[in-house]
């Protein structure tokens, strides 16, 4: 199996195929490290006035699951991933974690095949736009983290999330999450999973507390 095929071979496909078929997890491990190095070096060189904390925040956004999965979709990686029947049935081809992991695996394969210099060019070709989005404050924000940092500074406590309602059939449920800060409840957030619902609830609370717009990116 060549490197690119291996990079696109998910564990579920390898398990179903059997006969010693390898999966992309080791390439993903390698690609994650190479990606982190390239992004860190680029930020260090291009943003000399930023301190370590600022650089770490930018990096955390651009190498996040959300960011990498969107890049993977733009590259049409979702069309070529080899996944098992069960994973396919459960919508695995659209799962953010699976897509982000596949992009990291492709990056690892590129590094082995073409060396660090060429792999660096490849990474920067897809990551610089994401860095610019963060610097221009146009990126998708992690409102749970923003809310927690704000609440810790202002109230010396933590937001508390609670599931208050579930609606819909088992295959298409909607979750409703409420966030409380010092026993005060802020608007409920909804989503097809708890993670999305928590983000929406956090965005409502953060907007209420700071008066800042959510920019429509709290999905």
The answer for residues whose C-beta is within 8 angstroms of residue 8's C-beta and 6 or more apart is: 24, 77, 80, 81, 82, 102, 105, 106
CB atoms within 10 A of CB 136: 8
The answer for residues whose C-beta is within 8 angstroms of residue 43's C-beta and 6 or more apart is: 50, 55, 58, 59, 131
What are the φ/ψ torsions at residue 189 (nearest 5 degrees)?
-110, 145
Residue pair 142/151 in contact by the 8 Å Cβ criterion: no
Q: Which of 104, 178, 198, 218 is catalytic?
A: 104
Q: Which of 28, 32, 78, 198 is catalytic?
A: 32
The answer for residues whose C-beta is within 8 angstroms of residue 14's C-beta and 6 or more apart is: 21, 22, 23
Residue pair 100/69 in contact by the 8 Å Cβ criterion: yes
Asked if 32 is an active-site residue, the reply is yes
Asked if 217 is an active-site residue, the reply is no
What are the residue numbers of the active site? 32, 104
């Amino acid at each position: 199996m060549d490197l690119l095929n291996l990079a696109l071979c998910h564990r579920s496909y390898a398990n179903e195929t059997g006969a010693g078929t390898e999966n992309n997890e080791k390439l993903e491990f390698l690609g994650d490290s190479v990606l982190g190095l390239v992004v860190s070096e680029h930020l260090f060189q291009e943003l000399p006035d930023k301190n370590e904390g600022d650089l770490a925040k930018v990096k955390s956004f651009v190498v996040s699951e959300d960011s990498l999965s969107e890049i993977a979709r733009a590259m049409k990686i979702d069309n070529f991933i080899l996944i098992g029947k069960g994973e396919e049935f459960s919508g695995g081809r659209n799962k953010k974690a699976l897509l982000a992991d596949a992009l990291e695996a492709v990056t690892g394969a590129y590094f082995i095949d073409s060396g660090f210099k060429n792999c660096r060019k490849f990474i920067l070709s897809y990551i610089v736009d994401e860095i610019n989005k963060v610097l221009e404050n146009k990126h998708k924000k992690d409102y749970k983290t923003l809310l927690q940092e704000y609440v810790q500074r202002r109230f010396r406590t933590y937001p508390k999330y609670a599931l208050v309602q579930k609606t819909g059939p088992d295959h298409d449920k909607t979750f409703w999450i409420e966030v409380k800060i010092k026993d005060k409840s802020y608007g409920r957030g909804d989503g097809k999973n708890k993670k999305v619902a928590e983000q929406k609830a956090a965005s409502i609370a953060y907007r209420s507390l700071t008066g800042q717009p959510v920019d429509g990116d709290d999905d």
